[in-house]
Structures are given as C-alpha cells and as structure tokens.
Amino acid sequence: MKKSYFRFYGQLNDFLPLEKRQKTIPYSYWGNPTIQDACAAQGVPHPEIFFVLKGSDLVNLKDNLKGEERISVYPRWTNLELPGKWEQHPQFPANPAFLAADHLGKLVRLMRVLGLDVVFKGEAEEADRIVLTRKLSDLKTSRVSQGYMPRSDDPYFQLEEVLDYFNLREKIKPLSRCPGCNTILKTVNPEEIWDRLEPKTKKYYRKFKLCPGCNKIYWRGSHFRRLQNKLGNLVPGEEED
C-alpha cells in the first residue's frame, strides 16, 4: 500500500471531519489514483478545487499519485492575487448560468428575483451550467465541471454565499427575470393587462412587467416590499426601466 500526504486549505476544510481540518493528512491507497479521485475519496469535490501543488509545483487534478508526495489543495481565493502560473481553474464565464438541485427552491427564487439565470436539475445539462447543491454526491460526478455547495441551510445566507463566491453583485438586474419560470420579463402597458388586475392594484400601481413564458404579471406591491426588506440594498427602491 502506498501513502501520500494532503493538506486542504480555506473552505475546503468544510468537507473534512473536524480531526482532519487544517492539518496534513496521510492518504493510503493501492495503485495510482488521480489527485481528483483521492480528493473525492477524502470528501472534497473537484468543482470547488481551483489549483493543486505537489511540493512547490503546480499540477493537474488528473495527474496520478505515485507515493510519498505532499499535495496542497486550494479553493477559490476571492481576495488574493495569485502568481500567473497559479491561475485559478475553472474560470467562471462572464455571464454565469446555474443549475440548482430541487432542495434549493427558495434560493433559486431569490436568485431569479435578482435577475440571475437559474434552472432546476433536469431542465438543462450539468456541463453547460454551474451546479448548486447541498448534496455532496452531486458535485462529485464527472459530468460536473463547475459547482458550489452552499454551507448554510438558510436561503438568504445561501444567496449571500453564492453572490460572493461567484462575484455576482455587479451582475444583479432586479426584477428582470420571472421568479417562477426564469424567463426574461418584458415591460407592459397597463392597458394590455388591465382586465386581469384587481381593483386595488389598478388604483395604486402603474408599472407592470409580464412574463412571456408563464404569462404572470409582476409589480412592486406589498409582497415585493417584504422581499426588499429581506434583501436590503440588493434591490433598489425605484424601478429601473
């Protein structure tokens, strides 16, 4: 049996048992597994790994272990400039699109309220979108190249995690996408949907948006104001046309 030594950094330690966090871990194995497989066997999914060093040399997750190596495994750094040769991988697209597990329904709705492109698992291919899930096995599958596991079980904290991890705050376009079906909303004249509105809505509101996908009508009513109280400055008080 061979043995290599792993050290996981930053939030990759979230995937490890308490007794193995923030320390060098001996990993025993037969044959020559890849570094990616060795990380997965220890509980760390490859989509959250951004670069790996063997000693002081940058190596690939697909490289094979041979025995007695010292492997340093790093997460994405959002506040640290790295040397060019240590460029982080994977690189996120300029306009990221997400694929979320069904158990993240509240997070999905919040992300769509902010104009972010999110569909549920089964509605698109994993290879085309960044996977969001709280189920670790979802991230370990080879079909997933990019992904993240929100640590919190609170959807509002999950939203903060995702916005920060993927640097999404500058990409927010509130009320531009349907929270129900993810379709881009269009501004509609009140006259076009007047017969569908309740009397109080007609009295107090004049700006409406319509979803071409599911035909729902949206406006900044009491439900929106409650949501705005939760999201704070992520959603401006005045509508941007």
Sequence-ordered strand ranges (E) for 16-141: 25-29, 51-54, 57-59, 70-74, 98-100, 118-120, 130-132
**CB-count burial class (<10 Å; 0-12, 13-18, 19+) for 129:** buried
Of the candidates 163, 190, 189, which has an alpha carbon nearest to the alpha carbon of residue 174? 163
If one counts every other C-beta atom within 10 angstroms of the C-beta of residue 39, the result is 25
Q: What is the pLDDT of residues 129-152, one digit of tens each?
A: 999 999 999 999 988 999 999 999
For residue 32, the surrounding DSSP H or E stretch is none
CB of 197 closer than 8 Å to CB of 210? no
- What sign does the CA torsion over 16, 18, 24, 25 have? negative
Query: In sequence order, which residues have a C-beta less than 8 Å from that of residue 221 and are 6 or more positions away?
Result: 201, 205
The Cα 37–Cα 73 span in angstroms is 13
Q: What is the pLDDT of residues 71-94, one digit of tens each?
A: 999 998 766 666 666 666 667 888
pLDDT string in tens for the chain (241-residue length):
999 999 999 999 999 999 999 999 999 999 999 999 999 999 999 999 999 999 989 999 999 999 999 999 999 876 666 666 666 666 788 889 999 999 999 999 999 999 999 999 888 878 789 999 999 999 999 889 999 999 999 999 999 999 999 999 999 998 899 999 999 999 999 999 999 988 888 888 889 999 999 999 998 877 777 777 777 777 665 554 4
CB of 177 closer than 8 Å to CB of 183? yes
Domains of the chain, with CATH numbers? 2-85 (3.10.20.30), 92-172 (3.40.50), 181-241 (no CATH)
